[in-house]
Structure 1
Amino acid sequence: MFQRDLNFIHKYFVAEKQESLLFLIIGIIALVLAIVFFFFIKSSPSFYKGAAWPLLVVGLIQIVVGYSVYTRSDKQRMDVS
């Protein structure tokens, strides 16, 4: 009888997928920066090696979260509609 307009749901999941790509990009940048800090910067090595560990952990967490949200967004969008 009434057809529901679910366009806003599709927009939400598209935006969620774009946000997860941003998380992936930031995570990859943090991971690369941690590798550069840990292996390639020789001036003040204790500071940069100390900064590399949190960057590594945060980068890995963001990569995992970004990838998991990116891969499940399409399935959730189809399940809802």
Structure 2
Amino acid sequence: EDVKNVVEKTVETFGRIDILVNNSGATWGAPVEEMPLQAWQKVLNVNATGTFLMSQEVGKVMIEQKSGKIINIASVAGL
């Protein structure tokens, strides 16, 4: 719901969306063998699910506009 609201507000303010840069990321900061499931789920929620949800919602706008670019920035440190 928050993602949809952000995208709608952006379109209201600027009239269109030309680019989306997915550049947020989370990491545990310790060896993976010490990572509890809850920390793993947080990392995936930010790194994968957040990217998916933003791309999905902005992608709808870009398809309607017939233009736009989505850039995903990733790091092995995020996993």
Q: TM-score, normalised by structure 2?
A: 0.41
The structure where helix makes up a greater share of residues is 1
Larger radius of gyration: 1
Q: TM-score, normalised by structure 1?
A: 0.41
